[in-house]
Amino acid sequence: MSDQDLDEIRQSVRQLCSNYTEDYWLELDRSRGYPTDFVKELTDSGFLTVLIPEEYGGSGLGVREACAVMEEVCRSGAHAGACHAQMYVMGSVLRHGSEQQKKYYLPKIAAGELRLQSFGVTEPTTGTDTTSLKTVAKRDGDSYVINGQKVWISRIEHTDLMVLLARTTPKSEVKKKTDGLSAFLIDVQAAKGNGLTIQPIESMINHHSCELFFDDLRIPADNLLGEEGKGFKVILDGMNAERILIGAECVGDGRYFIDKASAYASDRTVFDRPIGQNQGVQFPIARCYTEVEAASLMVAKAADMFDRGEACGAEANMAKMLSSEASWHAGDVCMQTFGGFAFAKEYHIERKFRETRLYQIAPISTNLILSFVGEHVLKMPRSF
């Protein structure tokens, strides 16, 4: 797709987002509400299902186009975390689901009849040490029985389906620690009250995160996604897309902050001159602009590699790290530019400031990315 086509996508998303002002998001932040109307319109317009092939009712576009959508959503002042998982979790079904699963689920997701908004991976005692997770799924005839616990699982109260990662073979019995993990499609609505308990977590941002408890949850064996014991690969493909898309969101956040800061610095007059005329105000904003632009190039490279089916773990990780740091720096400079007014909710800066801070921690921390690059790219000894 050409740059002109990408610009047209951005313009269309910008128009849709203009119907949902920053006051809309402020009120949701205050009430801890979910943007049901926004997500529905984004889905009905086809923007949330761009990655689904045309044969299943989607647009059949790539991660590069999906990045354009998510970037513009964030640049508008919205919080893409309310719906972004619909894109990258769906990729796990598309790449690893059986033909029967794809034919059943993908058209319903594309039509907005089903929501696939959650990844069930992180656990309270293992964190980013995914291969040490303790949730288990045991085969019992035509079913699997699941027991365990997950934490920081976002949007689970606002989804119909979840992709869950659990151990089907104990870690002590596999040659590679990434073996013995399996991915499953969970019907959340059917599971609630029948072995799945959901407990919301109150946090600093309105990310709709919860803790999950599995007590003998029984699911059909047909809900296995991909091969038994090969679920780490299923999750990894989704995680690479997730990191690229969140990188694009951070680029959008960064551009939001720069738009706000540069406009305010040009208009705000102190000591008979606009504050943006002062180099101490102007130069930090300009530096943030260069950092965001550079991060955007890394996101584009990673997205192109993903769409070509190339190995892009390093690029996806670097794109996410550089973008999250650029957006956080831009947010900090925007706060400093607005001064005391940055703390007033009516200016919306503090909400976005809180939201963009998340992405230096989730879905993968900066230090884990650096260890990945050090070991797998630079071939240095494993650091942990």
**What is the pLDDT at residue 9?**
96
58: helix, strand or coil: coil
Tell me the backbone φ, ψ of residue 195, rounded to 5 degrees: 125, -10
Q: What is the rounded CA–CA span in Å between residue 154 and residue 76?
A: 22
Contact criterion met (CB below 8 Å) for 334 and 260: yes
At 320, list the tokens: 């996410």
Q: Go through the domains of the chain in sequence order and give each one's CATH number.
A: 3-110 (1.10.540.10), 116-228 (2.40.110.10), 233-377 (1.20.140.10)
At 122, list the tokens: 């992180």
Contact criterion met (CB below 8 Å) for 230 and 292: no
Q: pLDDT under 50 in the chain at which residues?
A: none
Q: What is the rounded CA–CA span in Å between residue 165 and residue 160?
A: 17
**What is the pLDDT at residue 237?**
80
Q: What is the rounded CA–CA span in Å between residue 136 and residue 152?
A: 18
At 336, list the tokens: 């400093």
Nearest CA to 206 out of 353, 355, 347, 357 is that of 355
CB atoms within 10 A of CB 161: 22
Q: What is the rounded CA–CA span in Å between residue 246 and residue 262?
A: 24
225: helix, strand or coil: strand
Contact criterion met (CB below 8 Å) for 292 and 326: yes
Nearest CA to 333 out of 284, 382, 272 is that of 284
Nearest CA to 74 out of 340, 326, 342 is that of 326
Contact criterion met (CB below 8 Å) for 229 and 83: no
Nearest CA to 60 out of 1, 18, 137, 135 is that of 1
Give 101's contacts (C-beta < 8 A, 6+ positions apart).
93, 185, 222, 225
Helix (H) or strand (E) holding 241: helix 231-267
Contact criterion met (CB below 8 Å) for 150 and 212: yes
* CA 19 from centroid of its chain's CA atoms: 23
In angstroms, the first-to-last Cα distance of the chain is 41
**What is the pLDDT at residue 384?**
83
DSSP per-residue letters across 176-221: STTTTEEEEEEEHHHHBTTTEEEEE---SS---EEEEEEEEEEEEG
Helix (H) or strand (E) holding 160: none
**What is the pLDDT at residue 2?**
86
At 340, list the tokens: 């005391």
**What is the pLDDT at residue 127?**
86
Amino acid at 370: L
97: helix, strand or coil: coil
Strands (E), the chain: 116-120, 136-140, 143-154, 161-167, 181-187, 196-200, 209-220, 224-225, 269-270, 273-274
* CA 217 from centroid of its chain's CA atoms: 27
Amino acid at 175: K
64: helix, strand or coil: helix
76: helix, strand or coil: coil
